[in-house]
DNA sequence: CGAAATAGCACTTGTCAGATACGATTACCA
DNA sequence: TGGTAATCGTATCTGACAAGTGCTATTTCG
């Protein structure tokens, strides 16, 4: 299975382009840049604009530009918008407020709680990544050796790690 | 999007049943237990047996039982088998050895490296969860406050715990 | 031998991502 | 004031794959 759909993947690419070219660009320019279908790029940009990530300006000199700084957008937030809600399983809704009991096994299922914890752990990883980090070619995410440094990290205990209960306060 | 397909979700349920009933059980019993289609359960068990998670015994007194202790199976391993390879994007294969350059943007794409790092972080979370933890009703995963336990895991995830709470501000 | 169970495969069906298209609206410019 | 170039909104089509069913062969026990 693939976590990011192709649409979300291209959305990241497009946002990366708009991030580097601060002047922004129109759909055709972006599509030409990446060799994609102009209609497809236009649709993705429309969806991004609808969710408030980019701002579109119409007219002959219009185009798209980032509506918010890239370091204020987390990967989790983008995926929650582009993909239709990030869930671990069918029975674990990401939004805890709407608890539609569509699963017939909800009573006998003992995995619901533990799976929710795993889901929150994954969400924490996505929340810790901002688009600015993702787009920075010299950032901490660009070193492939960062994976190895996982095991040989100095024993600096992450004392300041606030363990939030990970409650997505969705209005 | 949903990380675990319904098949994987039911596979976890079935494995949980086989874990609690050490004597094992046949497909019909399990299907009856959860109110699922016997054929569907049988197919899932067949696939689990094919991947070596459960051992099937034919004959009139046959059935399935866990082939390996539950604490030696990680959630990542199960998903890698049931689902067909856990990838973050289309262009980030989970297996680094086969580097088929199917993506036409592989040259111009600057996100490949950072996304791989994120992918590995997510994989670490899944690798840190064993089925035994998942099935234990009194385990660390059953407490909603188990997010604390991230810090006492063997230095896998949360390489740099970001102090920013990453508040999701809905516009 | 016959019943009961797994093993393996072929098949149908339903859903949704992926992708395209078109008209409406807006803004710039001559 | 008209024309053009862009976004905006929506509607639609299609292919791939998940979801689910069924059947036959094989094995084991009584
Ligand atoms: S399988 Fe639906 S609640 Fe666990
Ligand atoms: S989009 Fe294919 S390599 Fe980045």
In a domain, A37, yes or no: yes
Print the domain residue range for A31: 6-94+106-139
In this predicted structure, what is the pLDDT of residue B143? 59
pLDDT digits (tens, 9 = 90+) for A127-142: 999 999 999 888 776 6
pLDDT digits (tens, 9 = 90+) for A7-28: 999 999 999 999 999 888 899 9
In a domain, B145, yes or no: no
Count residue pairs from A and B with Cβ separation < 8 A.
Answer: 201
pLDDT digits (tens, 9 = 90+) for A40-71: 999 999 999 999 999 999 999 999 999 999 99
Sign of the C-alpha dihedral computed for residues A18, A21, A23 and A28 taken in this order? negative
Mutate which of A89, A102, A115 for ligand 1? The one with the most ligand atoms within 8 Å of its CB, which is: A89
Q: Which ligand is nearest to the CA of A91?
A: 1
Task: Give the domain CATH number at B55.
Answer: 1.10.10.10
pLDDT digits (tens, 9 = 90+) for B16-73: 999 999 888 999 999 999 989 999 999 999 999 999 999 999 999 999 999 999 999 9
Which of ligand 1's atoms lies nearest the C-alpha of A110? 4
Q: State how far residue A117 is from chain B, nearest Cα, in angstroms.
A: 6
In a domain, A114, yes or no: yes
Structurally, how many domains does chain A consist of? 1
pLDDT band, residue A92 (cuts 50/70/90): low
Q: Are B136 and A153 in contact (CB under 8 A)?
A: no
Mapping DSSP onto H, E and C, the string for B92-135 reads CCCCCCCCCCCCCCCCCCCCHHHHHHHHHHHHHHHHCCEHHHHH
Give the H or E element holding residue A63.
strand A63-66
Nearest nucleotide from residue A4 CA, by C1' atom: C17
Nearest CA in chain A to B120: A147
Rg, chain B, Cα only: 19
Count of CB atoms situated within 10 Å of the CB of B145: 10
In a domain, B99, yes or no: no
In a domain, B34, yes or no: yes
- Pairwise CA distance, residues B64 & A5, whole Å: 36
Contacts of B161 in chain A (CB under 8 A): 128, 158, 160-161
**Is B4's C-beta closer than 6 angstroms to any atom of ligand 1?**
no
In a domain, B167, yes or no: no
Nearest CA in chain B to A124: B158
What DSSP string describes B41-100? HHHHHHHHHHTTSEEEE-STT-EEEESS-GGG-BHHHHHHHHTT--BSSTTS-S-SS---
* A151 to A160, B31, B72: CA distances (angstroms): 20, 43, 21
In a domain, B82, yes or no: yes
- Which residue(s) pair with B64 in the sheet? B25, B56
SS3 A92: coil
In this predicted structure, what is the pLDDT of residue A30? 92
In a domain, A151, yes or no: no
pLDDT of A161 above 90: no
């Amino acid at each position: 299975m693939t976590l990011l759909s192709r649409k979300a993947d291209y959305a990241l690419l497009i946002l990366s382009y708009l991030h580097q070219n601060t002047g922004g660009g129109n759909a055709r320019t972006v599509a030409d840049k990446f060799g994609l279908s102009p209609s497809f790029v236009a649709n993705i940009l429309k969806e991004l604009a609808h969710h408030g990530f980019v701002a579109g300006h119409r007219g002959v000199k219009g185009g798209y530009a980032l509506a918010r700084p890239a370091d204020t957008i987390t990967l989790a937030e983008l995926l929650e918008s582009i993909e239709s809600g990030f869930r671990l399983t069918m029975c674990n809704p990401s939004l805890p407020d709407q608890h539609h009991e569509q699963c017939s096994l909800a009573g006998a299922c003992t995995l619901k709680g533990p799976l929710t914890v795993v889901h929150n752990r994954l969400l924490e990883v996505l929340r810790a990544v901002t688009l600015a980090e993702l787009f920075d070619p010299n950032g901490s995410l660009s070193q492939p050796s960062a994976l190895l440094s996982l095991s040989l990290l100095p024993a600096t205990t992450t004392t300041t790690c606030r363990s939030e209960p990970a409650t997505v306060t969705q209005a």
